[in-house]
Amino acid sequence: MTVVNRVKSAVIWILFVIAIIIWLPLVALVRLFDRDPGLYRTGRFFRWLSLPIEKINPAWSLELSGEKVTEPRRPYVVVANHQSTLDIPFLARMPLECKWVAKEALFGTPVLGWMMRLAGDIPLDRSSTRSGVQALLAAKKVLEHKVSVFFFPEGTRSLDEQVHAFNDGAFHLAIKAQVPVLPMAIEGARACLPKNSWVFGPPQKVRIHILPAIETAGLTSKDVAQLREQTRHAIMEQIAHWRGQTVAEVDALHPAAKA
């Protein structure tokens, strides 16, 4: 970690903060005139902040591929693997608005947290069962307004680049609301900003692939585990394809991943 890397990273962080501060009154203005009960326009405008954030660091390039989203107001439960804090701005470039189910601490962050509340994102305290129930109820209401919701079902960022176990919440919600699960795979974000570091990594290509939606029509609570594992396997297959590995090598729950 050289002095030059530290200085570059510090400058980029300062530019990030400036961009976020500029964006706040604009998001508030859009929210003021947004009469959509799903706050679709407000959320979509807030997510556009990802574009200047991506462009501030010229070392990053983003490749978005996969399924085309032709009906942005068709509600999905969107899920993705989690590699880095920077997954959030990269995944915000997806071609539909989602309300993010995110850890409650983020909503207490000055400026950024305020914009998340304005956009209708959903706080979750993972240590509280009550908070989890409230978050799922709020997410179900969002889906009823024909807006998608987004989850990182691993719950936290992966430290070893493998895909860890998925929580059930997103899949319970999809089945209860009878909406499709839309899996997304992301690769490369961890190298952009390693966990527990503020210094950005070397130039990096980040890939996001939108996988085919998985329908839930007719499924019941008994099918949660199957739906969860089907989704997780689809994401691991895509990551394994990018890396030239087997699915077993990508799966943190498989002995081959620990070899």
Q: Could you report the per-residue pLDDT of 186-205, keeping only the tens digit for each? A: 999 888 887 778 888 888 89
Handedness of CA 146, 97, 94, 73 (dihedral sign): positive
The answer to whether 142 and 122 are in contact (CB under 8 A) is: yes
CA 160-161-165 angle, 5° bins: 85
Dihedral sign for Cα 175, 177, 182, 188, please. negative
Q: Look at residue 94 and tell me whether its pLDDT is greater than 60.
A: yes
A 10 A CB-CB count for 189 gives 26
Confidence of residue 258 (pLDDT cuts 50, 70, 90): low
Write down all domains in the chain, each with its CATH number in brackets: 3-258 (3.40.1130)
* Res. 99: pLDDT tops 80: yes
Of the chain, the percentage scoring pLDDT greater than 70 comes to: 98
Tens digits of per-residue pLDDT, 110-144? 999 999 999 999 999 888 888 889 999 999 999 99
| Residues 69-95, mean pLDDT to the nearest whole number | 93
Assign 1 a pLDDT band (cuts: 50, 70, 90).
Answer: low
Backbone angles phi, psi at 174, to 5 degrees: -60, -40
The pLDDT assigned to 254 comes to: 84
Query: What totals of helices (H) and strands (E) does the chain contain, helices first?
Result: 11, 7
d(CA 78, CA 95): 12
pTM: 0.93
Is it the case that residue 61 has pLDDT exceeding 80?
yes
